[in-house]
């Protein structure tokens, strides 16, 4: 077999390989974009619904009523939206009020990086993170979007001088191990965390 023929076949083989890799990469990118869009929509819907409920209760019954919403209604809303979209939906943080909201290893890795970005001034509401991970032979899409502290949050999550006596007492009663105070507006509170088994 002549050298020119071998050279030509090698070029064809390399071209086919490159095209195959490009197709696979493009397919993966499109799949990732679709997942991000889907999970982003779930996150935004959850946060909008939760904010609406909290503001309504703050307006009608003050911070004491809002605390009850956070301890009960927020978790119910999390479960409802998660089940509706066939995902596991959580709010996670390094400073939980409810121990169930403590970040796992994956979430902690992402949150740590986001705190670094926060210090650099590079973290904003457009930030998000998606990774496909293997857990016990199952593939999971894991997605996170940051939660930032806003003004009304300080009534229950601010510094010592911003939280009233009745609020402090109720928080201590409901959450004896509360770590979710000392925040300022714009601080990173934690994240919406979504996971879903993928085929």
- DSSP letters for 156-188: HHS-GGGS-HHHHHHHHHH-TT-------TT-E
Q: Of 66-80, 92-106, 163-177, 184-198, which range is least confident?
A: 66-80
In 3D space, the residue among 159, 148, 151, 156 whose CA is nearest the CA of residue 114 turns out to be 148
Span 89-115, pLDDT tens digits: 999 999 999 999 999 999 999 999 999
Q: What are phi and psi of 143, to 5 degrees?
A: -130, 140
Those residues whose C-beta lies under 8 Å from the C-beta of residue 72, and which sit 6 or more positions away, are none
In the chain, how many domains are there? 1
pLDDT at 20 over 70: no
Span 39-50, pLDDT tens digits: 999 999 999 999
Expressed as residue numbers, the domain containing 103 is 3-198
Over residues 189-194, mean pLDDT: 98
pLDDT at 198 over 80: yes
Average pLDDT, the chain: 86
């Amino acid at each position: 077999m002549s050298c020119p023929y071998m050279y030509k076949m090698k070029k064809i083989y390399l071209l086919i390989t490159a095209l195959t890799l490009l197709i696979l990469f493009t397919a993966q990118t499109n799949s990732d974009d679709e997942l991000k869009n889907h999970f982003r929509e779930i996150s935004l819907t959850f946060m909008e619904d939760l904010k609406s409920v909290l503001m309504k209760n703050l307006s009608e019954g003050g911070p004491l009523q809002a605390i009850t919403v956070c301890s009960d209604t927020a978790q119910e809303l999390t479960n409802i939206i998660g089940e509706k979209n066939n995902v596991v939906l959580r709010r996670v943080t390094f400073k939980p009020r409810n121990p169930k909201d403590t970040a796992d290893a994956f979430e902690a890795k992402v949150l740590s990086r986001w705190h670094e970005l926060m210090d650099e001034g590079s973290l904003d509401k457009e930030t998000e993170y998606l990774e496909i991970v293997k857990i016990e032979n199952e593939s999971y899409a894991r997605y996170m979007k940051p939660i930032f502290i806003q003004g009304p949050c300080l009534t229950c999550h601010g510094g010592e001088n911003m939280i009233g006596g009745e609020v402090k007492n109720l928080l201590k009663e409901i959450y004896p191990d509360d770590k979710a105070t000392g925040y300022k507006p714009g601080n990173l509170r934690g994240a919406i965390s979504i996971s879903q088994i993928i085929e």
